[in-house]
Structure 1
Amino acid sequence: MNRRHVLSMMAAGAALPLTGGLARAASPLTFQASWINDAEFAGYFTAIDKGYYTAEGLDLTYLSGGPDVIPESALIAGKADITVTTPDTTVTAITQQQAPFKIIGAQYQKNPIGIVSLAKNPITKPQDLVGKTLAVPPVNVVSVEAMLKISGVDRASVNIVPYAYDPTPLIKGEIDASLDFTTNVPYTIKLAGAEATSFLLYDFGFTIFNDTLVVTTDTLKAKRKEIVAFLKASRMGWEENLKDPAVYPPTFAETWFKGTGREIDNEVYFNTAQKPLIEAVGGIFSMSEEAIAANIEALAAVGIVATRDMFDTTVLEEI
């Protein structure tokens, strides 16, 4: 999902220790994030700082994202080996542009995107949107339309207007609700002196992953060992980070989070809120057959034809 401001590139990695008198060079791998450096990527930052990628033989380059970054384009252009995307955009690229992509993991088992409203004028279910004004980023309109259709709400009964990731119109009462990350925006609204309530699109039928890990088929073939190492180290980073969501964000204040203009308390809130959306019985990044089927069904509701072969679960099996 492409949102707000851009930060500069950061990189990490080092050669492995001497073995038998010879230095074994680390394998280069580039990861493209979809957004600025915030808690959405805290697990990767933890893995970098803890040396997990280095221990797995990787020289990882981390590229932060922003509103002008299209993650899938970074793969096609050869600027990155692996990225995070949303299933709807990736599947659309596969079906409409014949993009050679494979979805190999899912950071968010439950998509954190949802409808945010003020507690004093609460919208707690899709039916509450009838006759209301909902601000939605253009890239996410299809997702909202899917939820409305699945919930039996007439699209014409909801006034959908463009949203620029600024909760000010909601706080001022100019709109009734907005679509945004439920893991983050309620905190911003609280800072402005208001209380927010929210619900996930996921909980009302639009059952798709988010921050799906995507590679090209060529990269998966040529760098499978490195991709497996990346997933292993990243899973370790997320597991460590989520043990206590309040621990690591403060340690990134002068490094990964520097210059974002966001409070560390905001990142702790975000990190805490995303924990239940990331953790899974099968392990972080896992994609169960039931979850994949739910993704395919939800995407079909808006005419996006996903098939099982677009999801490759074999890579995670090698961790």
Structure 2
Amino acid sequence: MMNRRAFLAASAAAAALPALPRTARAATPLVFQASWVNDAEFSGYFLGIDEGYFAAEGLDLTYLSGGPDVIPESTLVAGRADLTLTTPDTTIKAISEQGAPFRIIGAQYQKNPLGIVSLAKAPITTAQDLVGKTIAVPPVNTISVQAMLAINGIDPASVNIVPYAYDPTPLIKGEIDASLDFTTNVPFTIESMGEKAVSVLLYDLGFTIYNDTVVVTEETLKTRRPELVAWLKAARKGWEANLADPAVWPPKWMDTWFKGTGRSIENEIYFNTAQKPLIGAPGGIFSMTEEDIAKNIAALDRVGIKGRREMFDTTLLEEIG
């Protein structure tokens, strides 16, 4: 064993040697699947990537755009992504009925932006207003509308539900009475076509669920917890910076993230501004309170989707404060 004098001499000699360069820590790859095509709905992530927030947390983030043909949960099962954004109704249904190994670890939208959009000259602002009317609904959201009708005691047979292809033209032409879409976006499109739109959130009609819930598999939650916490931290920072002034960032992405979408920057600013009150939360962006989790479970139960508290994991959010 080296005695004290020898140890001190060796230490002094080592201190005199030139310092070796430090090796930079390699960033950890992480793949994130968005739930729709690039628009203001994902502004916080765009900003986080561009401003280096994810990189600062040690992540090499790959962003995958979504679209009408993308089923977010399927990308997790297939191993193409590590985390994704979903609607809690489809995710919880998959867990409860198919045994899917998913966990919800955060919620981008505290209040689901999906709502009923109609024309001001023939407004639909209550659930009862839908009786005898025709509403166009994307197939993936049929469960949500059925839940809202059940909550309000309305016979689904009294409402004519037809498929919706994310195009407000049938509403403008009077072929339908309303459509189900993002209230943060479609009213702008309708008004640019010369009509005044009105909208009401499904959330405000009693279907009290989140949207763009952050979902991972149980295996990812177990094996990649530090990376998931880092993602939540960086994504929250990106959203906070974006929502500080919703008009600042969309113009910067005209030739990058928003290139080729066919949407105007004015539309994206409208969207970004309209979503601000739906995302913000006293506990911080992505937070999930016990009260709101209970509301989600109760709302889904009305249409036979059996949610349980353990399907939601709030412990990662607690680690970022």
TM-score greater than 0.5 by the shorter chain: yes
* 1:128 alignment partner in structure 2: 129
* 1:166 alignment partner in structure 2: 167
Shift of residue 211 of structure 1? 0.2
Q: Distance in 1 between matches of 2:185 and 2:200?
A: 13
* 1:11 alignment partner in structure 2: none
* 2:237 alignment partner in structure 1: 236
Q: Distance in 2 between matches of 1:185 and 1:231?
A: 29
* 1:16 alignment partner in structure 2: none
Q: Which amino acid aligns with 2:156?
A: R
* 2:315 alignment partner in structure 1: 314
Cα RMSD of the aligned pairs, angstroms, is 0.9
Q: Distance in 2 between matches of 1:172 and 1:149?
A: 29
Secondary structure in structure 2 of the residue aligned to 1:23: coil
Q: Distance in 2 between matches of 1:160 and 1:99?
A: 29
* 2:225 alignment partner in structure 1: 224
The structure in which a higher percent of residues are helix is: 2
- CA shift in 2, pair 1:169/1:318, >3 Å: same
* 2:6 alignment partner in structure 1: none
Q: Distance in 1 between matches of 2:78 and 2:139?
A: 24
Secondary structure in structure 1 of the residue aligned to 2:167: coil
Q: 5 Å matches for 1:268-283?
A: 268-283=269-284
* 1:81 alignment partner in structure 2: 82
Which of 232-241 and 95-104 deviates more? 95-104
Extract structure 1 runs of 4+ deviating beyond 3 A: none
Shift of residue 104 of structure 1? 0.2
How many percent of aligned residue pairs carry the same amino acid?
74
Q: 5 Å matches for 1:178-257?
A: 178-257=179-258
Q: Which amino acid aligns with 1:193?
A: G
Q: Distance in 1 between matches of 2:170 and 2:102?
A: 38
Shift of residue 277 of structure 1? 0.2
Q: Distance in 1 between matches of 2:103 and 2:197?
A: 37
Q: Deviations over 1:265-307 (max 9, x none)?
A: 0000000000000000110000000000000000000000000
* 1:59 alignment partner in structure 2: 60
Q: Which runs of 5+ in 1 are unaligned?
A: 1-18
Secondary structure in structure 1 of the residue aligned to 2:116: strand
Q: Distance in 2 between matches of 1:155 and 1:29?
A: 42
Paired residues, number: 301
Q: Distance in 2 between matches of 1:217 and 1:146?
A: 28
Q: 5 Å matches for 1:97-176?
A: 97-176=98-177
Shift of residue 141 of structure 1? 1.3
The structure with the largest alpha-carbon Rg is 2
* 1:34 alignment partner in structure 2: 35
Which of 147-156 and 185-194 deviates more? 147-156
Secondary structure in structure 2 of the residue aligned to 1:295: helix
* 1:301 alignment partner in structure 2: 302
Shift of residue 193 of structure 1? 0.4
* 2:51 alignment partner in structure 1: 50
Which of 136-145 and 56-65 deviates more? 136-145
Shift of residue 230 of structure 1? 0.2
Q: Distance in 2 between matches of 1:288 and 1:25?
A: 35
Q: Distance in 2 between matches of 1:210 and 1:247?
A: 24
Q: Distance in 2 between matches of 1:184 and 1:109?
A: 17
Q: Distance in 2 between matches of 1:283 and 1:42?
A: 17
Which of 119-128 and 19-28 deviates more? 19-28
Shift of residue 250 of structure 1? 0.4
Q: Distance in 1 between matches of 2:272 and 2:194?
A: 22
Shift of residue 97 of structure 1? 1.7
Q: Distance in 1 between matches of 2:150 and 2:95?
A: 24
Shift of residue 149 of structure 1? 1.2
Secondary structure in structure 2 of the residue aligned to 1:315: helix
Secondary structure in structure 1 of the residue aligned to 2:132: coil
Q: Distance in 1 between matches of 2:226 and 2:21?
A: 22
Shift of residue 20 of structure 1? 5.8
Query: TM-score when scaled to structure 1?
Result: 0.93
Q: Distance in 1 between matches of 2:157 and 2:37?
A: 34
